Every structure is written in structure tokens, then in C-alpha cells.
């Protein structure tokens, strides 16, 4: 199956068509949960429309730790059901989109005064492996202090006692979200980014649609109709419930999680490391290409939901904890080249700290018929979607079964991880003479799968610098196939360059803006305005204020 065009160049025709219809389902929120619901619903025959007020995955779903993992620390909270569910889902995600969900060895150092002893860590991870039905070859391995140091020489030898190695999976949350939305469209759904839901439409006090602002078409006001409306708006769920007059009982508790990015040679680790923060929390350090990223913090948040930033306090916290475990790195704020900060929409529980709050999802059904879902983890997106669509088909008196467990998400999916690895080698050999490096091949194939071959072929046929050619062709692909309208859509959520290769954005910003201007016929005034916006977004992840209130 080939990529389906998904471009804003013909958006107005699609919007007009959507206005003329009554859908079975409108999904509010273009994050991982909404994307999963749209795909599941479409596969079960529901005509589905997904709406996102900003870009797809622009909220929590581009701000996670970017792991498909079961949540080892939730065993401590006795959430065995959550750990089992998400643990089992890891293998499903890996099978269904191999180029985006990668096996990752996780190292857990056992340290003096830490959360785990060798015994408790071994027991916990054995339970973890059992709940997730991990293959015998991938189950936990206990390591001596000497073995841990051989694996990761930067570990603090003064406090290190031993360690455990176990299996997890790494992903790119924003790319996974975009791929799910593209898959939903292949199955008949429609999806619009930059379509803000302002209010609900009622008939006999029942929700029958939404009033929207099309933010890409002069802020036009439109009405969109559906038999069912589901809000999967993440941190904004309670704001929409308030519009519906249905905020009662349980409510959201928003917590902020921050990640910082340093050059890999400043924290030169081979494996991902899950280490103690010595405050009843754990932190990840994860190598990814040119960089290593570290996170996350976990603090209550009550500020601007649309602009959540990393502060100097957040950085100090993460650096202090990291330097305790890796003292030789001696990281400082000057080493932080990028960052991201996002909100977790957790379910409030009186008397519990942010780290103690459950990561379980919750469904709210109002008297108007509005269905909202909040909480949950990235890894559990498919099961959350299944629960919502099960509810919808039951309401419709149908018995359509969920089929997403075996659904290949990418248009031209690898059939196995081995095929993905072989494709890397094939592309390296084919394009090495054209100046396309192994790093280029890894970057593009882990983002775009087999679609990267088209980018390589077009870029290698150009006479200009290969790095510039690759960026131009990457932008072309994202505009044509991924509803990419603004430069920040591209360098943040489509490519991840803003976090993992920020210097490529800074060095090629004019080229990037010119490429978008050529596709969308921007005037010089629009280009100037766009550059100001891009510079601000780059500064948001590279320049740090002292408090949330000050940014």
C-alpha cells in the first residue's frame, strides 16, 4: 500500500465536504489517544472525523520519554493490571510498526541508598517480565558491579553495588501519532490539524456536533456534525467538560515532565540507563543518535497549557541527579542543547504527590452524551482506543470486533525488525557514494520507514549540498503526505530535529522557511513573520527562564 496524499493545499475542499456530512464519530484531540481512537473506529466501519486545535501531537504526545514501556515503577504502587496491559502492548507496537518501535536494553544500577536492592530489583523485574510475557532470551539479567562498569564506565563506582539489565522499547511519540492518523485516513477517516473546537452543538440537550474555528482559513467558523463526540484532548479535557457543563466528580491533576538533551559525547552511554533520583523517583538517560536525553521531572502544574517550558530549576534538578550517577560527566547547564516539557493529564487523588498518582486511564460520560477519556500512558494507546470504540459500538447495538492488534500501521510496513535492519544496510550501500551517511540513513528510516527511499532518491539527484537536498526533500514529503503546514510542524513533530539535532534547524532555518514558502506561495511579509515564530520556538527549547510564571 502506498502513502496517501495528506496535504493542506486542498484543505478547503476537504473541510467543505466535512461540513456537508454527519459523521458517526468526531474525535477531539490529535494526540496519541485520539489518533488511536480514529484508527480503531475507522477499521470498525464508523465514519470518523478527528480535530486538533494545533498541530497533531503538539501536546503531551510529543513530550513523553519516548518509550514504549510497561512502567516498572508502577509495580511499587501495586498497579499490576496496568503493568501487565502496557507490558503486553510493547510487543504489539513493535510488531505493528517496527521502524518506530525499537528494542532497547535498559540498565538499572543498584546503588547505595537507592530505591532497589539486588533482591528487590530482581524480584520486581522478574514479575515485570512475567506479566509482559517477555521471551526467555530477553528477560532480565543480574549483573555484578564489574559487569555494570564494563557496560557503562561512567557509572559512579563509589555508590554502585551491582545492576540489572532488562528489555524495553524506544519510539518517537510524535511520529507514532502522525503514522496512526495517516493510517486512519487510509481506512476512510478525515483529520484536520489547526481546527479548534470552540463549543458543542446540542439537540434536545444531547451533543450532536461541534462549533469550530478553522485556524488555517482566516479563522472561519464552521459547524461539524456527528452522532457521537469523544474528547481525547489530554490536558484540555476538563476545559471541554466545563463547556459541556459536566465537570463533576473526578477531575484532572496536571503534572509537568521535563527532558533535557545533551551531546552524546558529554554523556557517552551505550545503553539506556534507568537510575535513582534518591527522592522516591527514577530518571531515564537514553542515547539517541548524536545526543543523549535525560528525564523526567514530575511536578504539579497550573500555568499556561499552551506553552509549557523547561526552567533553570528543572534543569538543575535533572543535572544534579544525573551527575550523582555519572560524576565523570560533570554536566552543566551549558551542556544542555535542547529540551522539552509536557503535561501529564492524570486523575486527581487527594493527598497524593504527582509521582504517586495513578497512570490509569479514566472514561467520563456526561448526561449530554459527551464521552471524555484522560490519563493513561503512551504505551496503552491501543487499549484505550479499544475501550472507547467498544463503548461506541455497544451504544449503537453492534458487535464489531477490534482488529488493531494485528494491524500494520505504516503504509508500506516492514514485516519484521530483521527486514528493517537489512533495509538500513541496503540503503547505506546504495547511497554511500552520493554522500548520504550512515547517520542520514538511520535518521530518515527510523522516522519514515521505507518512505525514506523516495527522499534519498530525490535528494541524491539534486546538484546542491546533500544535507540541504535531504532537508528539502524531507519537507516536500511531510507537506505532501503528513499535513505539515508550518516549519515548526516539520522540525518539531515530523522530524524531531528540534530536540535531537537542533543545530541542523538553526543552520538551515532560511532554507526551511524558503521551502515552505515555495509550496504555500508565502509573501516576503509572511516569511518574515514565520521566521520570528520559528526563532521563538527554537528559543523556547534552548533558552531557559527561572520559573514557570516568568515564561
DSSP state of 113: T
pLDDT by residue (tens digit) across 318-350?
Answer: 999 999 999 999 999 999 999 999 999 988 866
Q: What is the pLDDT of residue 130?
A: 84
What count of other Cβ atoms lies within 10 Å of the Cβ of residue 238?
22
Q: What is the pLDDT of residue 133?
A: 82
14/145 same-domain check = no
pLDDT by residue (tens digit) across 260-280?
Answer: 999 999 999 999 999 999 998
247/122 same-domain check = no
Q: What is the pLDDT of residue 81?
A: 74
Tell how many helices (H) and how many strands (E) occur in the chain: 18, 18
Query: Domain span at residue 316?
Result: 98-168+253-356
Q: What is the pLDDT of residue 551?
A: 44
Contact yes or no for 257/355 (Cβ under 8 A): no
List the CATH number of the domain containing 14: 3.50.50.60
The answer to the question of residue 284 being in a domain is yes
Q: Where are the beta strands (DSSP E) in 402-545?
A: none
The model's pTM is 0.96
Count of domains in the chain?
3
258/138 same-domain check = yes
Report residues of the chain scoring pLDDT below 50. 550-551
The answer to the question of residue 89 being in a domain is no
Q: What is the pLDDT of residue 472?
A: 98
Residue corresponding to grid cell 492518523:
181
The answer to the question of residue 81 being in a domain is no
Q: Cβ neighbours of residue 296 under 8 Å, at least 6 residues apart? A: 65, 257, 258, 259, 283, 284
509/427 same-domain check = yes
Give percent above pLDDT 70 in the chain: 96
Rg (CA), the chain: 23
517/533 same-domain check = yes
List the CATH number of the domain containing 340: 3.30.9.10
Q: What is the pLDDT of residue 350?
A: 61
Could you give the 3-state DSSP secondary structure of residue 337?
coil
Amino acid at each position: 500500500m502506498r502513502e496517501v496524499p495528506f496535504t493542506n493545499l486542498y484543505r478547503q475542499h476537504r473541510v467543505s465536504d466535512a461540513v456537508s456530512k454527519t459523521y458517526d464519530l468526531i474525535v477531539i484531540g490529535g494526540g496519541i489517544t485520539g489518533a488511536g481512537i480514529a484508527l480503531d473506529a475507522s477499521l470498525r466501519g464508523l465514519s470518523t472525523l478527528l480535530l486538533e486545535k494545533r498541530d497533531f501531537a503538539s501536546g503531551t504526545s510529543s513530550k513523553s520519554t519516548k518509550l514504549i514501556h510497561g512502567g516498572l515503577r508502577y509495580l511499587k504502587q501495586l498497579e499490576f493490571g496496568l503493568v501487565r496491559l502496557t507490558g503486553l502492548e510493547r510487543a504489539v507496537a513493535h510488531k505493528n510498526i517496527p521502524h518506530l518501535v525499537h528494542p532497547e536494553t535498559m540498565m538499572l544500577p543498584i546503588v547505595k541508598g537507592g530505591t532497589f536492592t539486588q533482591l528487590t530489583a530482581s524480584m520486581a523485574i522478574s514479575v515485570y517480565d512475567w506479566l509482559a510475557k517477555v521471551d526467555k532470551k530477553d528477560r532480565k539479567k543480574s549483573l555484578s558491579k564489574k559487569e555494570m562498569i564494563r557496560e557503562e564506565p561512567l557509572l559512579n563506582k563509589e555508590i554502585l553495588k551491582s545492576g540489572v539489565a532488562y528489555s524495553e522499547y524506544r519510539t518517537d511519540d510524535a511520529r507514532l501519532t502522525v503514522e496512526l492518523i495517516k493510517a486512519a485516513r487510509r481506512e476512510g477517516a478525515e483529520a484536520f490539524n489547526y481546527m479548534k473546537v470552540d463549543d458543542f452543538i446540542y439537540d434536545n440537550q444531547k451533543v450532536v456536533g461541534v462549533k469550530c474555528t478553522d485556524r488555517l482559513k482566516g479563522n472561519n467558523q464552521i459547524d461539524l456534525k456527528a452522532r457521537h463526540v469523544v474528547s481525547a484532548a489530554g490536558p484540555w479535557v476538563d476545559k471541554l467538560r466545563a463547556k459541556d457543563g459536566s465537570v463533576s466528580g473526578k477531575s484532572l491533576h496536571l503534572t509537568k515532565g521535563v527532558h533535557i538533551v545533551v551531546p552524546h559525547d558529554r554523556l557517552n552511554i551505550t545503553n539506556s540507563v534507568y537510575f535513582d533520583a534518591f527522592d522516591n523517583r527514577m530518571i531515564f538517560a537514553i542515547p539517541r543518535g548524536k545526543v543523549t536525553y535525560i528525564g523526567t521531572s514530575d511536578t504539579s502544574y497550573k500555568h499556561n497549557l499552551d506553552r509549557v517550558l523547561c526552567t533553570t530549576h528543572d534543569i538543575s534538578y535533572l543535572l544534579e541527579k544525573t551527575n550523582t550517577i555519572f560524576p565523570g560527566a560533570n554536566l552543566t547547564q551549558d551542556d544542555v542543547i535542547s529540551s522539552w516539557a509536557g503535561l501529564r493529564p492524570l486523575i486527581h487523588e487527594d493527598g497524593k504527590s504527582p509521582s504517586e498518582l495513578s497512570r490509569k486511564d479514566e472514561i467520563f460520560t456526561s448526561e449530554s452524551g459527551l464521552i471524555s477519556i484522560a490519563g493513561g500512558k503512551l504505551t496503552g494507546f491501543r487499549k484505550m482506543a479499544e475501550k472507547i470504540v467498544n463503548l461506541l459500538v455497544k451504544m449503537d447495538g453492534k458487535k464489531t470486533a477490534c482488529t488493531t492488534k494485528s494491524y500494520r500501521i505504516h503504509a508500506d510496513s516492514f514485516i519484521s525488525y530483521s527486514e528493517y535492519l537489512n533495509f538500513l544496510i541496503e540503503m547505506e550501500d546504495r547511497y554511500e557514494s552520493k554522500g548520504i551517511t550512515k547517520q542520514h540513513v538511520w535518521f530518515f528510516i527510523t522516522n519514515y520507514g521505507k518512505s525514506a527511499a523516495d527522499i534519498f532518491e530525490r535528494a541524491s539527484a539534486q546538484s546542491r549540498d546533500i544535507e540541504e537536498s535531504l532537508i528539502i526533500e524531507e519537507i516536500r514529503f511531510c507537506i505532501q503526505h503528513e499535513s505539515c503546514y508550518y516549519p515548526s510542524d516539520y522540525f518539531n513533530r515530523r522530524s524531531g530535529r528540534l530536540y535531537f539535532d537542533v543545530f541542523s534547524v538553526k543552520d538551515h532555518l532560511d532554507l526551511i522557511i524558503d521551502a515552505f514558502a515555495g509550496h504555500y506561495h508565502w509573501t516576503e511579509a509572511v516569511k518574515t513573520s514565520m521566521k520570528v515564530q520559528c526563532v521563538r520556538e527554537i528559543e523556547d527549547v534552548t533558552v531557559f527562564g527561572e520559573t514557570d510564571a516568568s515564561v
